[in-house]
Structure 1
Amino acid sequence: MSDHDLIFILALQNVPKIGDITAKKLITHCGSAEAVLKEKKQHLLKIDGIGSSMLQEVFNKSHLLAAESELKFIREHHILPLYFMDGNYPEKLKHCIDGPILLFQSGNVNLKQQRLISIVGTRKITTSGMAFCEQLIEQLAVFNPVVISGFAYGTDITAQKAALKHNLQTVGCLAHGLNQVYPKVHKRYVAEVEKNGGFLTEFWSTSNPERENFLKRNRIIAGVSEATIVIESAERGGSLVTADIANSYNRDVFAVPGRTTDSQSSGCNNLIKYQKAHLLSHPMDVPYILNWELENDKKPGIQKQLFVELEADEKIIYNFLKTKEQHLLDSIALECSMPIFKVAGVLLNMELKGVVRPLPGKLFEVI
């Protein structure tokens, strides 16, 4: 993208009362942000849904001056702008009507052809919530997902540190410009995150971490991901907003259940109760619901190793499948007298050992 084009995109983004939905409508009608800002007002008023009050500030030259200043910051700090009509813009976010017209990226983010999950939750995460979050990422690491979160206290930083520990790409979606770090104590993680992923924001260097920015930021967390996972949440909280947004985008949502007496589980329990989220009781519920496959599963000619050592539960399932051939996950759990979440984990270990393989329709068979 040329600096000339970027100046006009930044200027349009900076206009009050012109949100992302309206900006996209104007750009689509006129052909470019520059064309919008150079169009006559009476012509813009003919566009369906565009009113005079929206256009009061469009032609104010101060927005071009502000854009020039922000462009200088972008170039000096080697920030990558992502325009919603360009190929480098997050693919899943393109399908969100209210996605930002322009994002700013730092680091080595790669979201193309990746498994993308966002992990959110309370800033006051409990020790059990932290343990589940770390276990979740440890067991999902074999699928090499990108872990997306908000780089905040509690659940966010727990998830992103766990991703770094297992050499997974992680992306922090920020509620402020890329010229600062919030909370400041997380500055120690910035370099490692940018090495193994990076940061995304729609906010300029002039934006501070205001409360409304965090709520606005949540749609990016939900929008870039194929699924949103809520680890813990009180009855109200930003993570529940993210879950609602993800549902509005027709994305999968998972929630970790907790005791009814635990205040930090009430939000998750309500998501499950009102059928706004899948119940997440075991890490392998995620790849099962999202129908993820291991890379080796796609390669023909996988042969089981000779004299593979099987655990007790693995032997039970192996012997059942050997006599019954192909079987559904639910049937395996029923016939082997094991809970589904446990069977899913055991089957994954058996896949890694080259003993079983998944088939379409959630069937499994011995190799």
Structure 2
Amino acid sequence: MSLLHQLALTFIRGVGPVLAKNMLAYAGSAENVFNIAPAKLLKAPGVGEKRLEMLDFNSALKRAEEELALIEQHGIDVVFYTDPKYPKRLRACNDSPVLLYTRGDMDLNNGRVVSIVGSRKTTEYGRLLCRQLVAELQAYDVLIVSGLAYGIDGEAHKQALQLEMPTVGVVGHGMGSMYPAAHRSLADKMMKNGGMITEYPYHTIADPKNFPTRNRIVAGLADVTVVIEAGIKSGTLITAEIANSYNRDVFAFPGRVGDELSEGCNFLIRHHKAGLLTCVEDLAFIMGWEKGDKEAQPKQSQLALAMDLSSEERSIITVLNEHPSIAIDELTLKLGMPVSQLTMNLLNLEMQGFIRSMPGKTYALN
């Protein structure tokens, strides 16, 4: 197939992804769309006479020539809708892009894909949850997808990089831009094990209207979308709604009642738009996932995350790491900590998913 015509198909005025696929299915290829008599396209679903009059193929081909020169100059890859490399999960979505621009080294058809989304203005609690989630997902050999924005998005990509997990950022602009600019270095590091994808041509700027559209790709690429901290009017909720419309699983971490950044997550859970998530085991059980060869690594990553906890909580983690399980009485003796104070710290660690309580008032690391 001609790459020029594939590009040009996305530049035809008034033709969106759904109509473009209809035309493609009728004509057989992007090149045929441009070569058959325009009147014959009337047989394609959605192409009426008025729309046919608007089809400016010459203008679309001219823009495609310019875009082709840019992608060749800057080493950008193009994945077309009919290409075997096109993400199969996204292809199943009726409004998926006809064409994706990509940079990096990625497998968008990885066996397991998790999208992680959340607020740009996040808290330390949210960042801790995000790092812990990614660290525990390492055992399941997943591809981490997010939007390369500030907050939860950036935290998910950074943690994936630290753990040498593949991670892909879906952006709402062309490859000629980087938004936010502060994440350019992060994006560059992602190229070795993941990268960036977009449906927008090279010179497209980061317009606010692009991001809700971008969110459908974030949702469509994944088996499951996880929400970590979101306001009630957050764009994150749009991603969750889209994922639900695609019949994909959605999970959310609950938050304290009254916290602004917990309102969105609690809303999703309360209205059965997301499953309650407290640890990765919840997600893995629902998805039917078994751990891969990296089974021993999540605990090490979790202990590294424990450095963000208080000194008392870190002391508890250290002792628990030395025992398969330990009773609270023995724990208080080893730590020299009053039972009332120890109980509160244990509850905080359990709520954050670091430990689990067991019968007989014993505790163990997750």
* TM-score normalised over the length of structure 1: 0.80
Letter of the 2:242 counterpart: I
For the pair 1:93 / 2:90, whether they are aligned, the reply is yes
Query: Which residue pairs with 1:225 in the alignment?
Result: 222
Query: Which residue pairs with 1:214 in the alignment?
Result: 211
Query: Which residue pairs with 2:67 in the alignment?
Result: 70
Query: Which residue pairs with 2:324 in the alignment?
Result: 311
Aligned to 1:61, the other structure's residue is in SS state helix
Aligned to 2:78, the other structure's residue is in SS state strand
CA apart distance, 1:59: 3.2
RMSD over aligned CA atoms reads 2.6
Aligned equivalent of 1:131, options 125, 128, 131: 128
Query: Which residue pairs with 1:59 in the alignment?
Result: 56
Aligned equivalent of 2:179, options 182, 190, 203: 182
User: Aligned equivalents of 1:47 and 1:87: distance in 2?
Assistant: 24
User: Aligned equivalents of 1:297 and 1:108: distance in 2?
Assistant: 21
Structure 2 residue ranges without an equivalent (≥5) = 296-321, 328-349
For the pair 1:12 / 2:9, whether they are aligned, the reply is yes
User: Aligned equivalents of 1:122 and 1:63: distance in 2?
Assistant: 37
After the TM superposition, list the runs of 4 or more consecutive aligned residues in structure 1 that deviate by more than 3 angstroms: 341-346
CA contact (8 A) 1:253 1:278 kept: yes
- Figure out how many residues of one structure are paired with residues of the other and give that number: 314
Deviations 1:292-345 (A, max 9, x none): 1123599xxxxxxxxxx861269xxxxxxxxxxxxxxxxxxxxxxx99x76699
For the pair 1:36 / 2:33, whether they are aligned, the reply is yes
- Between the aligned residues of both structures, percent identity stands at 39
User: Aligned equivalents of 2:204 and 2:115: distance in 1?
Assistant: 24
Aligned to 1:285, the other structure's residue is in SS state helix
User: Aligned equivalents of 2:32 and 2:18: distance in 1?
Assistant: 17
Deviations 1:70-116 (A, max 9, x none): 00111111211101111011111111111111001101111334310
CA apart distance, 1:50: 1.8
* TM-score normalised over the length of structure 2: 0.80
User: Aligned equivalents of 2:109 and 2:39: distance in 1?
Assistant: 41
CA contact (8 A) 2:233 2:264 kept: yes
Query: Which residue pairs with 1:258 in the alignment?
Result: 255
Query: Which residue pairs with 2:199 in the alignment?
Result: 202
CA contact (8 A) 2:112 2:143 kept: yes
User: Aligned equivalents of 1:183 and 1:108: distance in 2?
Assistant: 22
Query: Which residue pairs with 2:338 in the alignment?
Result: none
Letter of the 1:276 counterpart: K
User: Aligned equivalents of 1:281 and 1:198: distance in 2?
Assistant: 29
Structure 1 residue ranges without an equivalent (≥5) = 299-308, 315-337, 351-367
Letter of the 2:270 counterpart: K
User: Aligned equivalents of 1:160 and 1:50: distance in 2?
Assistant: 41
Query: Which residue pairs with 1:240 in the alignment?
Result: 237
CA contact (8 A) 2:110 2:142 kept: no
For the pair 1:104 / 2:101, whether they are aligned, the reply is yes
Letter of the 2:325 counterpart: A
